Amino acid sequence: MLDKIKSNFNTQTWVLIPIAIAINLVVGQIVLTLKLPVFLDSIGTVLVAVLCGPWAGALTGALSNTIAGIALDPGWFPWWPVAAMIGYMAGRMAEWGFFKSWWKVVVTGFVIALTAVIVSTPIAVYLFGGITASGSSFITAYLLQTGQGIWQAVASTSFITEPVDKITTAMLAFAIILGLPKRTVGGYPKAANAEAEGADRNQLYIAIGVIVLLVLFAAFMLRNILGG
């Protein structure tokens, strides 16, 4: 086990982790400030997980929320187990070959979303009463007003927002990797997990198209939920 953990870390891993944490914090804080019904605070975590491995991804996720909890807002801190599991699962999916084409990345995002729902729901209910600082909480509040119980409202909100958020996150990480020079990618411990099937340019265009469609879908769903 120790050897597997060590295999995730080389010099490039340690250089990438702080960059990834900065991406998580900056994008996550922007989304939080805008009160958008998604998170997008795990792009860097997934990036590290794919290129370096699940343990490096888990460390990146946990450190991101710990640092954000200290430097930005204590409300970030309780979510570190969720962030760590997102990183670990993203790395495992990459090891299983699910980060080599756009449709496999969609599957990866969906699996990560399910993982996030399972780990985050008890935290949201027991520590925050279902209402957090995230923009998705107004969906939870709306569902509570319709008579749903706290567990049902939180879980329903997660199943609405998490797949869109995590598939978009995975796609953005995929697009970043495709945009990096192959020489740079090749220096990471798990570079083979990120080798795209087919032409990189085509995969990149498809990934960008999927991201746009997901954003439009999220906007459509949100309008229908709050309007209906």
Range of the domain at 166: 2-227
Q: Would you place residue 1 in the very low, low, confident or very high pLDDT band (cuts 50, 70, 90)?
A: confident
**Which pLDDT band holds residue 120 (cuts at 50, 70, 90)?**
confident
Query: Tokens 């927002």 — which residue?
Result: 161
User: pTM surpassing 0.75?
Assistant: yes
pLDDT tops 60 at residue 81: yes
Residue 121: the pLDDT is 84
- How high is the pLDDT of residue 166? 92
Look at 215 and 101; give whichever has higher pLDDT.
101
8 A C-beta contact, residue 140 and residue 131:
yes
**Position with higher pLDDT, 208 vs 110:** 110
CATH of the domain at 41: 1.10.1760.20
Task: Please tell me the total count of domains within the chain.
Answer: 1
Take residue 216 and report the two structure tokens written for it. Answer: 């439009």
Alpha helix stretches (DSSP H) within the chain: 2-6, 11-34, 43-52, 54-71, 80-95, 102-128, 137-145, 150-179, 182-185, 200-227
Q: Is the pLDDT of residue 138 over 80?
A: no
pLDDT tens profile 83-111? 999 999 999 999 999 999 888 999 999 99
Q: Which amino acid is at 165?
A: D
In the predicted model, what is the mean pLDDT of residues 213-224? 66
Q: 10-63, pLDDT tens digit by residue? A: 999 999 999 999 999 999 888 878 777 678 899 999 999 999 999 999 999 999
Nearest by Cα to 54 from 100, 11, 5: 5
Query: Average pLDDT for residues 74-89, to the nearest whole number?
Result: 94
pLDDT at position 137 is: 60
